[in-house]
Amino acid sequence: MQLTPRQLEIMEIVKRYEPITGEQIAEQLGVSRPTIRSDLAVLVMLGMLDAKPKVGYFLGAHVSTAGEAITRLLERRVQDVQSLPVVVKESTTVQDAVITMFLEDVGSLFVVDDMGELSGVVSRKDVLKLTLGNASAPQMPVSMVMTRKPKIITVSPMDTVIDAAAKMVHHQVDSLPVMDHGGAIVGFISTASMTKVLLELATSEVSTLERDRGHS
């Protein structure tokens, strides 16, 4: 059901001033209390608003919980969800890289030079492209197939998860290395990490709503 403009305005007023009485809401709108009686009834019926006698109206449990979930998502930092990076050297063969991917169950490996600094990223897609129809590919070093540093998109530990997700979508990549202020790789964040965050928030919201229904 789509809310009317006046009902949306009522929601904004309640969000700003809760708890607030019906008379005060009507005053904010510049109308009489009977005029908005049906609007208030609809919003309460939908669970958008709750009402207590002699107290007034306030946001319903569903709206409050959803708002809290969104706030938690917006505040979540990369450092809260990042995983340890799986690192290989530039001289690592493609065959060993594939084995490492399967053993570690990751979609990307982070390649470092002799100084231990990030020099590239190699993904399953990169390996697949190289090995198809190429008998000598397994013995090639990953440096021949990796995406090199100038083209690597990175995030910092303090970036938000939303910012990281936006970079993944924009650049069409499945994971991003997490770099500290010194330029060292300290982790990575992937689409799997994003899915886990959303699942945790969704599960938390459902649990809260079920608990609230049980107490009502």
pLDDT in tens, 101-112: 999 999 899 999
Does residue 207 lie within any of the structural domains?
A: no
Does residue 184 lie within any of the structural domains?
A: yes
How many domains are there within the chain? 2
Does residue 141 lie within any of the structural domains?
A: yes
Within 13 A of 122's CA, how many CA atoms are on the CB side? 30
- Residue of higher predicted confidence among 162 and 72: 162
The reported pLDDT for the residue numbered 166 is 86
- The DSSP line for 48-115 is SEEEETTTEEEE-HHHHHHHHHHHHHHH-BHHHH-BPPPEEETT-BHHHHHHHHHHHT-SEEEEE-TT
Dihedral over alpha carbons 69, 73, 76, 77 (to 10 degrees)? 180
Do 42 and 140 belong to one domain? no
Do 129 and 101 belong to one domain? yes
Do 38 and 112 belong to one domain? no
Pairing of strands 56-59, 108-112: unpaired
Do 103 and 168 belong to one domain? yes
Do 127 and 23 belong to one domain? no
Look up the domain containing 92 and give its range.
Answer: 78-197
Does residue 203 lie within any of the structural domains?
A: no
34-48, 70-84, 109-123: which is most confident: 109-123
How many of the other CB atoms lie within 10 Å of CB of 148? Answer: 11
| Both structure tokens of 15 | 């969000």
**The model's pTM:** 0.63
| Both structure tokens of 178 | 């997490």
CB 141 within 8 A of CB 92: yes
CB 152 within 8 A of CB 129: no
Q: What is the CATH number of the domain that holds 23?
A: 1.10.10.10
Does residue 168 lie within any of the structural domains?
A: yes
The reported pLDDT for the residue numbered 132 is 83
Do 139 and 54 belong to one domain? no
Lowest pLDDT segment from 20-24, 70-74, 168-172: 70-74
Dihedral over alpha carbons 86, 90, 95, 97 (to 10 degrees)? 10
Does residue 133 lie within any of the structural domains?
A: yes
Does residue 215 lie within any of the structural domains?
A: no
Do 99 and 186 belong to one domain? yes
